[in-house]
Every structure is written in C-alpha cells, then in structure tokens.
Amino acid sequence: MAIRAIRGATTLTADDAREMSEAVVELVTAMMERNGVVRDDLISILFTATPDLHSAFPAASARDLGLVDVPLICAQELDVTGALPRVVRVLMHTETPLARADVHHIYLRGAEVLRQDLAP
C-alpha cells in the first residue's frame, strides 16, 4: 500500500456558506469515489480557499461526510492578480494501491481550467 496525494478543486458562484458546503461535499465525494478511497484510507486533507471566500471553512463541510476522525486543515490561497476567483482546492493524502499515474485528480464547476493537464 502506498501513500498518495490526490488533488482537486472547485469554484463557487458566490461567497455563500451553503454553496461552499455543497461544492466541498461534491468535490471530496468525487475524489474518494473516483479513486476507490474509503474513510479509513484517509491520512489527512488540506483545504485552501481564495481570499474572496470567507463565509465558511471548507473543512467544516467535509465533517458532514463523516470525516470526524480525519485531520483536516484550511489555509488561504495566495492572492495572485488575475487568478481564478472563488476557488476551493483540496490536497487529500491517502493510502492506496494505485500507482501515482493511476490517481484521478478531480476538478469541478469550472476549476478544470486550473490544471487542464490533470482534469479529464
């Protein structure tokens, strides 16, 4: 079993706590399902949000998925001129039998433009 990092990102249409929750739950669920990850495989998850998002902590929404014993942390993304607005990024650390090349990184709701080389 190897330790792998799975990347993901999503965007919001507005700085809204409800939309934040829906988008984070959708993203984390897709990351886990697409890579065959179950809760016990998770090591930790790092969430970042662009500086224009401050209505809710992204990690709080992951708790709604039952991830109460997984270490989660939030940080603010760099404020880079011209960067895509209202983005939540995720870096999920997990144990998995997948080879690095077989890991599926998930980009949703317009975030696909961030890493066109990784998004399907």
Q: Which of 4, 19, 86, 89 is catalytic?
A: 89
Q: Which of 26, 34, 95, 115 is catalytic?
A: 115
Told to judge if 100 belongs to the known catalytic residues of this protein, a careful annotator would answer no
The pTM assigned to this predicted structure is 0.91
Q: Which of 7, 22, 100, 109 is catalytic?
A: 7
Does 1 score more than 90 pLDDT? no
User: What is the residue-wise DSSP string for 53-75?
Assistant: --SS-HHHHHHTTT-TTS-EEEE
Told to judge if 22 belongs to the known catalytic residues of this protein, a careful annotator would answer no
What sign does the dihedral 6-34-111-57 (CA atoms) show?
negative
Cα 114 to Cα 2, 56, 65, 69, 105: the distances in Å are 26, 22, 26, 30, 12
Q: Which of 18, 33, 39, 63 is catalytic?
A: 63
76-84 mean pLDDT: 90
Encode pLDDT of 38-77 as tens digits: 999 999 999 999 999 999 999 999 988 889 999 999 999 9
Does 119 score more than 60 pLDDT? no
CATH class label, 2-114: alpha beta
Rounded distance between C-alpha atoms, residue 86 and residue 65, angstroms: 22
Residue 77 contacts residue 89 (beta carbons within 8 Å): yes
Banded pLDDT at 110 (limits 50, 70, 90): confident
Rounded distance between C-alpha atoms, residue 36 and residue 97, angstroms: 10
Q: Which of 4, 19, 86, 107 is catalytic?
A: 107
Told to judge if 18 belongs to the known catalytic residues of this protein, a careful annotator would answer no
Told to judge if 4 belongs to the known catalytic residues of this protein, a careful annotator would answer no
Does 118 score more than 70 pLDDT? no
* Sequence ranges of the domains in the chain: 2-114
23-38 mean pLDDT: 96
